[in-house]
Amino acid sequence: HRINQYVKFEFYEDGEEDDKSYVEIHLDENEITQSMYVKVVDYSDYDDEQEQYELWSELVNNLKDIVGG
């Protein structure tokens, strides 16, 4: 059992602590290939899937540029 397996960022709207959005970022290892990968869990009630796709595509492309992927 590893500690510090992931980080979770929670986002609250003003006065609405029960209805929160969050992003979890996990760094995991494939046991078969021993390769590392990043798993992102994005939870929100935002309904525009195309805009979310474009946002995450841009973020992943930026990460690839930084780490050389």
Q: Which amino acid is at 36?
A: M
- What's residue 32's pLDDT? 95
Does residue 14 or residue 58 have the better pLDDT?
58
For tokens 């059992």, the residue is 1
Is residue 1 scored above 60 in pLDDT? no
Residues with Cβ < 8 Å from 30, sequence gap 6 or more?
A: 36, 37
Is residue 15 scored above 70 in pLDDT? no
Q: Which amino acid is at 57?
A: S
**% pLDDT > 70, the chain:** 88
Rounded mean pLDDT of 35-58? 86
Exposure string over 5-24, b if 16+ CB within 10 A, otherwise e: eeeeeeeeeeeeeeeeeeee
